[in-house]
Amino acid sequence: MSAFLTAIENITPEIYENLKLAIELGKWGDGRKLSPEQRDLCMQALIAWEIKNLPEEQRTGYMGAQTCASSKSKTREFPDLFLAEASETRH
């Protein structure tokens, strides 16, 4: 594990961009295909580097603040038949 952490410390912004491109294309810059193991390791390195060097909103997988769309609006387009009393349901 310490070898992995040491490798992360040595990633430059240029290496980061090369790893990112390799993951996106599925191959190295010279055209050789990434193996599944290489892809996984590159992704782990990419994420670890981003945690140390990028603000959260610029990291891979960032989705922003998440809110429930239904909590913003109290009106419903369709009646909620699943929560209606038995006498209110249609048959």
User: 40: which DSSP letter?
Assistant: H
Domain-embedded: residue 91: no
In order of 31, 43, 74, 75, the CA distances from 71 in angstroms are: 49, 35, 7, 10
Average pLDDT of the segment spanning 16-35: 95
Domain-embedded: residue 38: yes
Domain-embedded: residue 70: no
Instruction: Write out the residue range of the structural domain in which residue 41 sits.
Output: 2-58
Structure confidence at residue 14 (pLDDT): 95
The secondary structure element, H or E, covering residue 49 is helix 36-53
pTM of the model as a whole: 0.63
Q: Kindly tell me the number of DSSP H helices and DSSP E strands found in the chain.
A: 3, 0
Structure confidence at residue 87 (pLDDT): 61
Domain-embedded: residue 31: yes
Q: How many domains does the chain have?
A: 1
Which of the pair, 39 or 1, is modelled with greater confidence? 39
* Digit-coded pLDDT (tens) for 26-76: 999 999 999 999 999 999 999 889 988 888 888 887 787 777 766 555 555
Structure confidence at residue 86 (pLDDT): 59
Domain-embedded: residue 22: yes
